[in-house]
């Protein structure tokens, strides 16, 4: 069975700084029509920085939509003309001050394909070199160093539920075996 849904028409409902939202009329595979709300996002990256002693560097920042601080891998939005590796390098430097000799592509994932086209690319960064962080205006965070195994335990105990972090840590654990 062909499961493709065909867009018939669409109307932009919101166009913001980062996202836009459309309400699309689609034809389903059975010929019926329905509406789909779609959040369009330029995509993002997340980087898990791992030093030679097995420590990782995480960022803790307040996330307004969930009303709490979260512990996450350094991450950010892909700018219009950048590729995801360049974005990974930029975000790691901005948020932690680190650069890396090696960026290992751990893959990508859709964040929530039921309503958004956002895709996140995740990397493992090794061969770290410390520099000075340079946060974006209005960005406030703390960098926290911890053993990778402690971070993996936090993921497994659901103490960290940020999707990009869970995916990066899980994939890195398999990669490092």
User: Averaged over 149-153, what is the pLDDT?
Assistant: 98
Which residue numbers are catalytic? 137
Q: What is the C-alpha to C-alpha distance for residues 51 and 7, in angstroms, rounded to an integer?
A: 47
The H-assigned helical ranges of 13-136 are 84-96
Dist CA 167 CA 43 (whole Å): 16
Q: Which helix (H) or strand (E) holds 127?
A: strand 119-129
What is the rounded CA–CA span in Å between residue 24 and residue 20?
A: 13
pLDDT over 90 at 166, yes or no: yes
C-alpha of 39 from chain center: 15
Q: What is the pTM of this model?
A: 0.94
The superfamily CATH assigns to domain 44-176 is Nucleoside Triphosphate Pyrophosphohydrolase (3.90.79.10)
In this predicted model, what pLDDT tens digit does every residue of 104-114 receive, in sequence order? 999 999 999 99
What confidence tier does 27 reach under pLDDT thresholds 50, 70, 90?
Answer: very high
**What percentage of the chain has pLDDT greater than the value 70?**
100
Beta-carbon neighbour count of residue 67 at 10 Å?
7
Per-residue pLDDT of 45-103, as tens digits, reads: 999 999 999 999 999 999 999 999 999 999 999 998 889 999 999 999 999 999 999 99
CB 144 within 8 A of CB 56: no
Task: Please state whether beta strands 68-72 and 55-63 pair in parallel, antiparallel, or not at all (unpaired).
Answer: antiparallel
Within the chain, how many helices (H) and strands (E) appear? 3, 10
User: What is the percent of the chain where pLDDT is above 90?
Assistant: 92
Instruction: Determine which helix (DSSP H) or strand (DSSP E) holds 5, and give its type and residue range.
Output: none
Q: Alpha-carbon distance 71 to 59, whole Å?
A: 6
Q: In the prediction, which pLDDT does 125 show?
A: 98
What is the dihedral angle through the alpha carbons of 136, 138, 143, 144, rounded to the nearest 10 degrees? -150
């Amino acid at each position: 069975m062909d499961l493709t849904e065909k867009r018939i028409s669409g109307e932009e409902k919101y166009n913001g700084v980062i996202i836009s939202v459309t309400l699309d009329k689609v034809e389903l595979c059975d010929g019926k029509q329905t509406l789909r709300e779609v959040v369009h996002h330029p995509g993002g990256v997340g980087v898990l920085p791992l030093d030679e002693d097995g420590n990782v560097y995480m960022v803790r920042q307040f996330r307004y939509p969930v009303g709490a601080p979260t512990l996450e891998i350094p991450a950010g939005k892909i700018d219009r003309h950048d590729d995801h590796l360049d974005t990974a390098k930029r975000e790691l430097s901005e948020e932690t001050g680190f650069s890396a000799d090696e960026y290992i592509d751990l893959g990508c994932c859709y964040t929530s394909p039921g309503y958004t086209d956002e895709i996140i690319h995740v990397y493992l960064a090794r061969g770290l070199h410390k520099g000075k962080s340079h946060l974006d205006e209005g960005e406030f965070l703390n960098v926290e160093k911890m053993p990778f195994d402690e971070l993996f335990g936090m993921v497994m105990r659901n103490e960290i539920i940020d999707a990009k972090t869970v995916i990066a840590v899980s994939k890195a654990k398999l990669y490092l075996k």
